[in-house]
Structure 1
């Protein structure tokens, strides 16, 4: 086998392997009941929607579970709607999800020992930038 044919074969195998991995990203299960169906009570649906927009999709990472089409996001939407329909307050549902998946699931993480840096870093960077700007201006004058 020539070097060019060998490279082409390797690339073809690699491409097929990559396609096989993405083909099984979601299961063949039907979506959860409230994954794509809204609650009958508009007030409960409004609470659920507001909460779903604050929760990060664990698969997509850059989208909320409200916006994501990932199967896990659908399962999480179903969970949120089911719990709110049962009368749980949104903050309790949010706390349960954070306890289960960690602070990363929330776009608004709680202030704690593990998220302290997230809350403090912007302030420190702003102060550092101001200090550098003042120092730079003093050097010029």
Structure 2
């Protein structure tokens, strides 16, 4: 039973960023139950404070050998239609790959879309066309 619980942690930690408050709250409640089931008091404390990135750091520290699995789980969130979920996945992947703790990484204000470059905050928005020379610029 421990394995399915461990496999659910990363998706739940990303889904707490869901735009629907009821979904986010259910994820926090489920994470709390998971930490209790795993008898993982440190993680439970971060979850009680709703500290997503400390929780992720804690998970990655304890289960370093599963980091690639966690990254694979996160990749699916890059295609989510909700911007906050894509941003959370980008932060998780980017900071993990850079070796930066998630709590002090690329996004200085957690959840703030303004803190991410435009190309990252909405990677699916079309790029502006390149400037074309006009008759006067030749």
Q: Which structure dedicates a bigger proportion of its chain to helix? A: 2
